[in-house]
Structure 1
Amino acid sequence: MQLFKGHQKTSFIDYPDKICTVLFVGGCNFRCPYCHNGELVNNEGEFIDEEYIFDFLNKRRKMLDGVCISGGEATLYNTKLYDFITRVKKLDYLVKLDTNGTNPELLKNLIDNKLIDYVAMDIKAPFDKYEDVVNVKIDIENIKKSIDIIRNSNIDYEFRTTVCKELLTKEDIIELAESIKGSKRYIMQNFKDGETVLAGKGKFTSYKGSELKNIEESIKGWFEEVKIRG
């Protein structure tokens, strides 16, 4: 089974309050121009052997709390992903899934079968602007279904949005946040420029910290927790 094209052996930030290892799938069904994982989105690079991964996980069982599966977009792989996580859970690891929410059926299946413990779902834009940001045609109902599945589950979760001035205004961010009002945790991730950005370096502008703080003040009463990253 070939799934992963990247591996960060240890992370203290990808799984809140846990030490985890991060596995990155190749390929994505979105083309968000600010994405900093351009190589993964384009499915470049060599696959990592699965037995290497499980050998690593077996050796680190006393040092790691969990496995974070990121991308790319992991839910593109359906049965492969389900089978991989099933095998990981047999090693008593916590599993965190990063997703764009385009496969609500798989997401529900993983949650119902207690195969994931934490979900981080990226919400890209207000619903009427989604395609402008992700640069592909999408079924927005799948995004809404995934939001509802996560909110109504009994697992820990966060919704998060990468923000840059060219794609999301302050009003856009507030509208987006209002659409998920009452959720547990909402995170604004400030855009970071770099050589690996999908659209190229120098195309997008991050927000000033003071600007994001101002937005945070406007929306913080809608969630149990609001955070700014970056």
Structure 2
Amino acid sequence: MRCGYCYNPEIVRGKGKLNINQALEFIYSRRKLLDGIVFSGGECTLHPELYPLIKTCKKLGFKVKLDTNGSLPKRLKPLLDEGLIDYVAMDFKALPDQYKKITGSNLYQEFEQSLHLLQKTGIDFEIRTTVHSKLIAHDSLKKMVNHLEMLDYKGNYYIQPFLNNTPTLVPLPKSKGIQNLSSLSTSKINVVLR
């Protein structure tokens, strides 16, 4: 994906890489100091060594959280099936009709497949959306809540306002604050500002 508001443009552009040995060395050095490890990105499920790296973390006793955009359900499924993940935070980037504009990709169906996988496993997970006011309007947020309900999602839906003055993948104008979030909650979905 190429979300314009991406906070990790250096990762998306392929800079700042650690090799697996460096990552493992760091993880081993943090045993008994940390309780858990978060795999994030860009999109961490793209990395070919993610599965063995997570397996190693679990063997060392770490809890594992995965931050994902849900674009690779085939990579997510074995991690879920084997109980290698303790918590997932998945980004709901946009509704199907805005998905390509926001992400630069045609991966909406994969997001839905990943959501269904998470719902089936019973794992703790959350759905969240980063909102830039020029990209997602308040009425779109209401439609997104309704869409999640249609997909049988229940629970908290976290709205993360875009942070201005942060380096991003593409230059963006200043984003306005988010208003009236309380009006977006339903009987099944609690909209929470983060």
Match of 2:177 among 207, 211, 219: 207
Residues 60-69 or 49-58, more deviating: 49-58
Match of 1:100 among 69, 77, 101: 69
Q: Deviations over 1:149-201 (max 9, x none)?
A: 1122221101000111111111111111122123232100001122411112x
Q: Deviations over 1:81-128 (max 9, x none)?
A: 111111111101110011111111111111001111111110111122
Q: Is the 8 A contact 1:163 1:207 kept in 2?
A: no
5+ residue gaps, structure 1, are 1-29
Aligned to 1:81: 50
Identity of aligned residues (%): 35
Secondary structure, aligned partner of 1:128: coil
Match of 2:154 among 160, 164, 183: 183
Any residues of structure 2 matched to 1:95-174 within 5 Å, and which? 95-136=64-105, 138-174=106-142
Alignment of 1:71 with 2:37, yes or no, is no
Secondary structure, aligned partner of 1:187: strand
Identify which of structures 1 and 2 has the higher relative contact order when contacts are C-alpha pairs closer than 8 Å and 6+ apart: 2
TM-score of the superposed pair, with normalisation by structure 1: 0.77
Letter in 2 for 1:219: S
Aligned residues: 191
Secondary structure, aligned partner of 2:121: coil
5+ residue gaps, structure 2, are none
CA distance in 1, matches of 2:176, 2:13: 24
Letter in 2 for 1:228: L
Aligned to 1:219: 185
